[in-house]
């Protein structure tokens, strides 16, 4: 199993999505999003090749869809590094991962 590392950008993404859901919908939905995100991170730590390769975003970058967001990550030195958590309706080609 890989060790989970969440970058500052990914942490900011998660917080932004959480706050948006909590303000626009219900607090319980925001909590559900957060719980599902961390369960997905755990799943990826155990199965890092589940995601689709995204070589145009950088060497070793993969993404995994979770509901309406895409989780961008890579494996470095036995660590699963979460790079970004990005809404799937937004243009991910302009997304800065590094």
**Residue 72 maps to which CATH number?**
3.30.2310.20
Residue 54: pLDDT band (50, 70, 90) is confident
Residue 66 within any structural domain of the chain: yes
Residue 98 within any structural domain of the chain: no
Is the separation of the CB atoms in 71 and 51 below 8 Å?
Answer: yes
Is the separation of the CB atoms in 53 and 62 below 8 Å?
Answer: yes
Residue 55: pLDDT band (50, 70, 90) is confident
How many independent structural domains does the chain possess? 1
Residue 97 within any structural domain of the chain: no
Q: What is the pLDDT of residues 8-30, one digit of tens each?
A: 999 999 999 999 999 999 999 99
Query: Where in the sequence is the domain holding 18, given as residue range(s)?
Result: 3-87
Instruction: Flag whether pLDDT at 74 surpasses 90.
Output: yes
Residue 60 within any structural domain of the chain: yes
Residue 34 within any structural domain of the chain: yes
Residue 96 within any structural domain of the chain: no
pLDDT value, residue 15: 97
- In percent, the amount of the chain with pLDDT more than 90 equals 77
């Amino acid at each position: 199993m890989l060790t989970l590392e969440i970058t500052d950008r990914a942490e900011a993404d998660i917080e932004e999505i959480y706050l948006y859901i909590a303000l626009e919908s219900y607090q319980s939905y925001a909590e559900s999003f957060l719980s599902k995100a961390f369960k997905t991170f755990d799943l990826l730590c155990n199965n890092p090749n589940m995601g689709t390769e995204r070589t145009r975003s950088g060497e070793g970058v993969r993404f995994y869809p979770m509901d309406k967001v895409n989780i961008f990550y890579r494996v470095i030195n036995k660590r699963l590094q979460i790079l970004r958590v990005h809404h799937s309706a937004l243009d991910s080609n302009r997304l800065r991962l590094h």
